[in-house]
């Protein structure tokens, strides 16, 4: 009887650990995407005064963020507003 309890307890604890590891990995993926999008927006804004580079970095930001080129500016505004506390 004691061995059955130990086996079930081990499986239960492994399931809990697996759930938390899965949850943490999802959170890390989401955080990495946010940081990548924020970095692409910062590059785009850094070269806003140079017309040629601005267009190039706008297209690069659109590829990184997976947002259409004409909406990247608005997306970056909302993204940076979220970052403020």
Residue 81, Cβ density class (10 Å: 0-12 exposed, 13-18 middle, ≥19 buried): exposed
* pLDDT per position as a tens digit, 35-78: 999 999 888 888 888 888 888 888 999 998 888 988 998 998 89
Band the pLDDT of 85: cuts 50, 70, 90. Answer: very low
Model pTM score: 0.69
* pLDDT per position as a tens digit, 19-30: 999 999 999 998
């Amino acid at each position: 009887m004691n061995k059955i309890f130990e086996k079930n307890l081990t499986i239960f604890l492994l399931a809990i650990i697996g759930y938390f590891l899965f949850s943490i990995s999802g959170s890390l993926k989401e955080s990495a995407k946010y940081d990548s999008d924020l970095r692409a927006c910062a590059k785009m804004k850094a070269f806003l005064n140079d017309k040629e580079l601005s267009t190039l970095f706008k297209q690069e930001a659109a590829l990184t963020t997976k947002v259409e080129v004409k909406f990247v500016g608005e997306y970056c505004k909302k993204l940076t507003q979220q970052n403020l506390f």
